[in-house]
A and B are shown apart, each in its own frame.
Chain A
Amino acid sequence: MSQVSDAASHAANNMKPVQVKLVLLGEAAVGKSSLVLRFVNDEFQENKEPTIGAAFLTQKCRLEDKVIKFEIWDTAGQERFHSLAPMYYRNAQAAVVVYDVTKASSLEKAKSWVKELQRQANPNIVIALTGNKVDLVSSRRSRRMSVDNEDEDDDERDAQELDEDEEDDEDYGISRQVPTEEASAYAQESGLLFFETSAKNGQGVAEVFTEIAKKIPLEHILSSTRGGRAGGVNGGNGRVDLQNGANGQRLGGQQDKGGCAC
């Protein structure tokens, strides 16, 4: 599946790249920026400046005979930036909603993002649910164990765990709070792509983007030069967009297979 290759080698390829606007959403410090950084530069920074508003990055990749140029909007995760998000996800053809597998509350936040996207965003948006930081839990805990102790952890522990995210916590044996089955079932039910990744060691990152690329109706984008202009109609200020909320169109029926890449 990994025909993803670096943009530079294909620059000579005379093909016009298909632009795909992709937005990353999710709770603060789940690793959105790191995920992008891994995808774009294939690197990992322990101390990454928090995203203010949103960061913008691009990455080209090749899928079969097409070149896709991802325009990635990496949004700020802090709750109070939430009201800015519509500005970034409008017109987006794809969204990666990230949660932290070691933090149950982050999945809840992710679900609420999904809900919001399904109601407010481009109706054909492809959404990928991504559980990040699997490197923290991969070695020691089996899935079954984690199912058993899913929701008892209190906030204190959350906080503690968060502090330790940045460091090497293999030894702490951070428990997985979100079992793969649970998230995967949710994704299937809501028609989302589902992945588990680690920005730190790169596991699963490329797949996220490849699968998204496969799922997006590229021909459609090409023919309409640029995706639907959702917010442009209502007088400039689409940032906090009042009228856009009316249609809660779900993803189309083509989603039922909901490919789980794991």
Chain B
Amino acid sequence: MTQHFKPPHQVFILPTPCDQHNPLFDTVQSTENFVLQRTKASKNQFLNSFLGTIQNVFDTKQAPFRVLFRRQVNAQALMIAEAETQKNIDQAWSWVQDNFVVGLQVLDDAQEKEEWVLTKIRSIVTRADKGTDDITSDEKVRSASRAFRQTFNVLPSERLVSYYSCSYHSKMMNQGWMYISENYLCFYSFMLGMETKIFLELKDVGDLQKEKSKRGVFADAIRVVMKDEQEYFFSNLFHRDETYDMLVQLTTLTMERLLRNTASEHAPGMSNGDESETVKDVFSVDVDSLESGESPYSPAPTTRPLRLGLEEQKRDSQFQQRFSLPTSEHLMEESSATMIHGDRTDMFHGRLYMSESFLCFICTDANPCVLALPLFTIRRVERMNSRSAMYALNILTWHQMRIVFRLNGPKTQCEKFCGGLKTNLKLQVRAMRSLKPFLATCFSEALLADRPDIAEKDSGLGWIFEFPGDPKKLKNKSKTKLWLQYFKDNGRNLTMTKVATFPKLIRVGLPNKLRGEIWEVCTGSLYLRSMNPGEYTRLLKDNEGKMSLSLEEIEKDLNRSLPEYQAYQANQGINRLRNVLSAYAWKNPDLGYCQAMNIVTSAILIYQSEEQAFWTLNVLCDRLVPGYYSTSMYGALLDQTILEHLLEKTMPVLSKHLKKVDVQLSVACLPWFLSLFINSMPLVYAFRVLDCFFYEGPKVLFQISLAILKVNGDELLAAKDDGAFMDVLKKYFGTLDESAFPNSSNPKARALTKFNELMLVAYKEFESITPETVAELRRNHQLKVVHNIGSFTKRSQLRNINAGKFSKDEMSVIYDRFYNALFYGRPQARGSSKQGEARALDATTFVSFLGSLAHWAQVEDDQMENVDTRPSNGSLNHHRRRGSTSTTSTARERRRVVGRHFISRLFERFDCNGTGLLSLQEVTTGLGDIIHGDLMTRMQLFFDMHDMNKDGTLSRDEILSMSESLLFIFRYDDGDSYLGAISNFIRNAFEFAEKVDAVKRDTLVTEEAEATKVDTEEKKEEALDESEKTTKDDKDAEDATTAPKAEKTGSSPSHEEPEIQMSLPSFRMVVLADEALEKFFDSGFSNSFKLLEPLDRQRGLFAREVFDSLLSEGRKLAGSITGGIQNRKRPHGPASISSSSSTLQATPSSSSLPLASNKSTTSLSESTATVDGSSAMAGDVANKVKADIKDADHKVDIGANTEDDDEEEDEDEDGEGDDLLDEVEKFLTEFDLEETGKKDLGLTSATDPDSP
């Protein structure tokens, strides 16, 4: 049972069901459970060419050797390995024999055997492919990606991130596959004839929980809770934690996009004047930045797997967080290392990391020591020849501090590290030049040089207006002395090592003049400032004189920020505050300005210069309290939720009490967090809290808040309402400087202030709250908070919409679809897009919006679906490349043009104010006019939309374009009646329209002979063709298409009568003359908008239906031809390349298919392609259709080029096309004769594919 040797690489595949008795394969060896097969060396000429074509078209070569696993007696076999060479397959075979045979003998139950084998194989395969994307070299991954696209109707730009074998628990266990892509979480399983398909949008995920399955024995499950409380339970995940982390990461990214999408009308900090300018936020890291500007249709072959990108992003952000580095830093090398600092003897063991411009060390044993050394502060690096260690780097810093790192890794790794360091150091030479002027702004330098006056001109307001508090009482002098010593021992500013004394010195409170700089060191804003010299002044200069909403808001608050501090009663303070706040608003226009930032900034400015404060504000908003000040304030809300959660855990009694008396914690606590206690506590104490906060991060806010609640616990328990609750806290803050134990006999205890007590409680009793806990809690609660914000926004927006006759539920659907279109329509749109765009549809997103409401409007998707669901498209890449560069069939192109044209006219019609953007209100009104209008208004609408020149009449071209639009809308309708209706329409329209001057006729005829023939005629002709066909019998139909030219000459002249004009009344008359059209305008069109019924489903099924029906026809045909040859279902599996089409055929939906028109010429080549596919599946091709198949081969080649699966088929007018059509037609007719009813067909094929 143990693995005797490593399984051969790249031979095993994800188990894929397949036919054991495939006529193309010969069995070489077989045991009870396994079969080894190789391809038949066929002499059959036809078969060879057939195979060649298949390989050509499918872009896959079937491997000549394969190993199958025999399941239960009558079930299909599973392919578990395939190989190109005998040697490889032999290896796999013997590995199978060695590893499975014994085990299988032990197991009795067939099911058990299967499970065991599958599990094992899957774990081998999944281990083999880390890194997945469609572009990977790995065939398995590619096919998984393909299977994903084919199974789930997603856009081609959607990229699969990873896939896992797992099972989904509904009433029963379904073993299958979980696919995780950028936007979706999907599951597919096909077991015992039952298909299970789950399609979840990541943006709707409300919660993710790790769980245990099988009565809590195995920690291998994840529960996914959607925002509508729907739950999904997945288990048997081999890489559960990895899956979970990935889902968390992806949902987080999705959330960020969601917030950007709905949060703000437009970026409040964006300049009012120009829209073109977008200030790029260097701090934002999101999924978009991973895919550097590639278009969705032509993925560069070198694209790195998305998953690797995500992993890297995660690693980098952890690295940046740990060392407070700018987000421009990426982890490049790391090694285990020992650090020896200066002349001291103590050693630190830990890890050494390197990024573009930093060398970072963190101690991993008990002795805390953290160093982030910018490379530009390194004067010299020497490699030491030391006996004890092979590699030792002796570093001399700018401050003449000597640091030695001994690298403990293997030699090659050390060499790589050193090499990287060398390269990076060279790149830093330029940065070194700005070091000296930079250090001149650091007070620590001045202090050490014993010239504390030199840094004064560019420092905090406190230098001029005095610092808050009594310096004597604060023991300012002795604290400064301690820091001086620390600088001497451990370096200063940029080169400082944070050792054990560092946090202690921070917690006792920072000395006034050093405070600003130490804050910078703690937050890492020092690095930002040193690495971006001049950016602050540039931001202000570049935006001088511009105005924005944020600037207005800032202006209102300037006089109201710490008004009690002297500096803010004078211009000097006000100006600095204005500069810093506006510079930040320019830098981050999405955030702009939020009240509370003025308070925090004005406090910081007492100790820091403008530029220092600016960068500190950056770190604050981006990393320390992300989302606090954003337009949705989701960060603040999130942390309030977390605080409540922590209160419940640490002080259940108080928590219960608050719930009982219905007091909401955040009414009191929210301002604490937003203004970082600055306007809650007396300033002196607020700064003490701030010291700790800047060093230790947001966890301090939680610790202090909880401590405040704890200390006041008794009083709070007595409070009966929020008024009393607030009073207790207000009073407490006012007495922070009083003795905590005034009655104690111990003078030391008496000297303890309430603030001291508070800090003690915070650090002692709430020690368990670490940055990690906070990070995890944020992760766990963020989805809910974001969804709450989402539904709040939705509610408040809907409240202000004039809904017309739409019900509340309908409005809710319109809102959701509207924002869905925005969300998926512009994935790469940065938040800082143009004004107004964030909340309005443009022409492109309108198409997808409409497509989500009405089936006929799914223009883009037709194409996508066809591309994706076709059986013959082989490698998706390959296919896409072809599709994008060259020949898309004219027919499809044409239909898309018509469709787009129609929709864009609708767009213009909706766009009342002509901005080129549709707001929710405009869309609602527009839809309301259609849906709640009546027969007359809808006819009017169509009339107006097609009356291009607005002359109140429809010309010939306009009538034709109307009919094209109608055809476009009707194209999915069942049956053929609409074709008749449209041809009637054209006929009647021409008949009843008012004729223009007959004199013009001659000239018109010649013109039109060209114009209409090329342009519009095809369409009407088609309509006529097809409508005629419906009235005639099959034989006639054949005639009709085999002689299209004759028809044309026969019918065209009748249209090329004089120029005509049709007025609205006659249009009405024409419409009302036809029952189908009347019905369409009366109810059909308005009913085509599905607001409350699920449309996605329908859409998903549609392609499936067409396909299934065609497939089943093809199969039936093949079946009838080949007779006894087994023709089985091929369930889905990521490795099923050639059988991808059969995945589809397995859908239960195939039983319910009403396919549009099996008699018309639509989808001809689809059926031919299908016939190929299915005959390939059947494994043989009968002699009877040999000739046809040859034709079909030929056609498939063309088909692959032109991607033609359209209804408007017969537009291909060149000779080849006609020939082809002839052939196809013949073929189809023949085939039609054999079949009687389509629906029966569908049923039979769906119910009996399992039988031999």
| Contact between chains at A238 and B664 (CB < 8 Å) | yes
Chain B residue nearest to A108 (CB atoms) is B800
A242 to B662, CA, bound (A): 17
Chain B window 626-649, contacts with chain A (Cβ cutoff 8 Å), 1 for yes, 0 for no: 000111110001001100100000
B290 adjacent to chain A (CB < 8 Å): no
Contacts of B791 in A (CB 8 A): 240, 242
| Min C-beta distance of A41 to chain B, whole Å | 15
Contacts of A115 in B (CB 8 A): 799-800
Contacts of A47 in B (CB 8 A): 559-560, 563
Category for how many chain B residues contact A = 35 or more
| Contact between chains at A52 and B599 (CB < 8 Å) | yes
A195 adjacent to chain B (CB < 8 Å): no
Cross-interface CB contact of A53 among B671, B722, B784, cutoff 8 Å: B671
| Contact between chains at A116 and B799 (CB < 8 Å) | yes
Contacts of B788 in A (CB 8 A): 237, 239-240, 242
A46 to B598, CA, bound (A): 17
| Min C-beta distance of A125 to chain B, whole Å | 16
| Contact between chains at B561 and A78 (CB < 8 Å) | no
| Contact between chains at A53 and B674 (CB < 8 Å) | yes
Cross-interface CB contact of B560 among A50, A56, A81, cutoff 8 Å: A50
A237 to B785, CA, bound (A): 10
| Min C-beta distance of A128 to chain B, whole Å | 20
| Contact between chains at A84 and B723 (CB < 8 Å) | no
Contacts of A96 in B (CB 8 A): none
B477 adjacent to chain A (CB < 8 Å): no
Cross-interface CB contact of A71 among B547, B594, B632, B723, cutoff 8 Å: B723
| Contact between chains at A56 and B559 (CB < 8 Å) | no
| Min C-beta distance of A175 to chain B, whole Å | 19
Chain B residue nearest to A115 (CB atoms) is B799
B1079 adjacent to chain A (CB < 8 Å): no
With contacts A49-B679, A52-B674, A226-B721 taken as known, whether A87 is within 8 angstroms of B664 at the C-beta atoms is yes
A223 adjacent to chain B (CB < 8 Å): no
Chain-B contact segment, one of A159-167, A183-191, A249-257? A159-167
Chain A residue nearest to B725 (CB atoms) is A56
A224 adjacent to chain B (CB < 8 Å): no
| Contact between chains at B723 and A162 (CB < 8 Å) | no
Q: What is the total of A-B residue contacts with beta carbons within 8 Å?
A: 122
| Min C-beta distance of A70 to chain B, whole Å | 10
| Contact between chains at A240 and B792 (CB < 8 Å) | yes
| Contact between chains at B595 and A50 (CB < 8 Å) | yes
Chain A window 95-127, contacts with chain B (Cβ cutoff 8 Å), 1 for yes, 0 for no: 000000000000000001001100110000000
With contacts A52-B596, A53-B667, A56-B726 taken as known, whether A83 is within 8 angstroms of B662 at the C-beta atoms is no
Contacts of B664 in A (CB 8 A): 87, 238-239
Chain B window 591-618, contacts with chain A (Cβ cutoff 8 Å), 1 for yes, 0 for no: 0001110110000000000000000000
A232 adjacent to chain B (CB < 8 Å): yes
Category for how many chain A residues contact B = 35 or more
A49 to B558, CA, bound (A): 9
| Contact between chains at A83 and B789 (CB < 8 Å) | yes
Chain B window 781-822, contacts with chain A (Cβ cutoff 8 Å), 1 for yes, 0 for no: 000110011011101100110000000000000000000000
| Contact between chains at B799 and A112 (CB < 8 Å) | yes
Cross-interface CB contact of B637 among A46, A162, A231, A240, cutoff 8 Å: A240
Cross-interface CB contact of A80 among B633, B679, B722, B726, cutoff 8 Å: B633
| Min C-beta distance of B609 to chain A, whole Å | 24
B9 adjacent to chain A (CB < 8 Å): no
A85 to B668, CA, bound (A): 13
Cross-interface CB contact of A58 among B629, B641, B667, B723, cutoff 8 Å: B723
| Contact between chains at A28 and B553 (CB < 8 Å) | yes
A178 adjacent to chain B (CB < 8 Å): no
A19 adjacent to chain B (CB < 8 Å): yes
| Contact between chains at A80 and B632 (CB < 8 Å) | yes
Residue among B640, B784, B792 with the most chain A CB within 10 A?
B792
A29 to B675, CA, bound (A): 19
Chain A window 109-150, contacts with chain B (Cβ cutoff 8 Å), 1 for yes, 0 for no: 000100110011000000000000000000000000000000
A162 to B599, CA, bound (A): 21
A232 to B722, CA, bound (A): 13
Contacts of A215 in B (CB 8 A): none
A53 to B594, CA, bound (A): 11
Residue among A28, A80, A81, A112 with the most chain B CB within 10 A?
A80
Chain A residue nearest to B556 (CB atoms) is A29
Contacts of B562 in A (CB 8 A): 49
Chain A residue nearest to B798 (CB atoms) is A245
| Min C-beta distance of A239 to chain B, whole Å | 6
A19 to B666, CA, bound (A): 21
Contacts of B799 in A (CB 8 A): 112, 115-116, 119
B1240 adjacent to chain A (CB < 8 Å): no
A162 to B558, CA, bound (A): 13
Chain B residue nearest to A78 (CB atoms) is B595
A229 adjacent to chain B (CB < 8 Å): yes
Contacts of A80 in B (CB 8 A): 594, 629-633
B256 adjacent to chain A (CB < 8 Å): no
A81 to B788, CA, bound (A): 15
A19 to B214, CA, bound (A): 55
| Contact between chains at A84 and B633 (CB < 8 Å) | yes
Chain B residue nearest to A77 (CB atoms) is B595
Contacts of B637 in A (CB 8 A): 83-84, 239-240
Chain A window 60-92, contacts with chain B (Cβ cutoff 8 Å), 1 for yes, 0 for no: 000000000001010010111111101110010
A79 to B789, CA, bound (A): 14
A91 to B667, CA, bound (A): 13
Interface residues of A in 193-239 (CB under 8 A from B): 226, 229, 231-232, 236-239
Contacts of A46 in B (CB 8 A): 559
Contacts of A231 in B (CB 8 A): 662
B286 adjacent to chain A (CB < 8 Å): no
Cross-interface CB contact of A52 among B659, B675, B796, cutoff 8 Å: B675
| Contact between chains at B659 and A236 (CB < 8 Å) | yes
A18 adjacent to chain B (CB < 8 Å): no
| Contact between chains at B633 and A83 (CB < 8 Å) | yes
Chain B residue nearest to A69 (CB atoms) is B723
B281 adjacent to chain A (CB < 8 Å): no
Contacts of A28 in B (CB 8 A): 553, 556, 595
A159 to B552, CA, bound (A): 7
Cross-interface CB contact of B563 among A49, A76, A240, cutoff 8 Å: A49
| Contact between chains at A19 and B598 (CB < 8 Å) | no
| Contact between chains at B662 and A229 (CB < 8 Å) | yes
Cross-interface CB contact of B670 among A53, A86, A112, cutoff 8 Å: A53
B555 adjacent to chain A (CB < 8 Å): yes
A240 to B721, CA, bound (A): 20
B557 adjacent to chain A (CB < 8 Å): yes
| Contact between chains at A50 and B667 (CB < 8 Å) | no
| Min C-beta distance of B16 to chain A, whole Å | 45
Cross-interface CB contact of A83 among B596, B629, B632, B659, cutoff 8 Å: B632
A54 adjacent to chain B (CB < 8 Å): yes
Cross-interface CB contact of A50 among B557, B631, B789, B795, cutoff 8 Å: B557
Chain B window 556-574, contacts with chain A (Cβ cutoff 8 Å), 1 for yes, 0 for no: 1101111100000000000
Chain A residue nearest to B596 (CB atoms) is A52
| Contact between chains at B631 and A237 (CB < 8 Å) | no
A157 adjacent to chain B (CB < 8 Å): no
Chain A residue nearest to B564 (CB atoms) is A49
Residue among A54, A91, A119, A236 with the most chain B CB within 10 A?
A236
Contacts of B670 in A (CB 8 A): 52-53, 84
What are the nearest 4 A-B pairs in CB distance? A240-B788, A47-B559, A53-B671, A53-B670
Known A53-B666, A80-B630, A81-B633; further 6 A-B contacts with Cβ < 8 A: A49-B562, A52-B674, A71-B721, A84-B670, A112-B800, A115-B800
18 contacts between A and B (CB under 8 A): A28-B553, A52-B595, A56-B722, A73-B667, A78-B595, A79-B631, A81-B595, A83-B632, A83-B637, A112-B800, A115-B799, A119-B799, A163-B555, A226-B662, A237-B644, A237-B784, A240-B791, A242-B792
Binding site for B on A (CB under 8 A): 19, 21, 28-29, 46-54, 56, 58, 71, 73, 76, 78-84, 86-88, 91, 112, 115-116, 119-120, 159, 162-163, 166, 226, 229, 231-232, 236-240, 242, 245
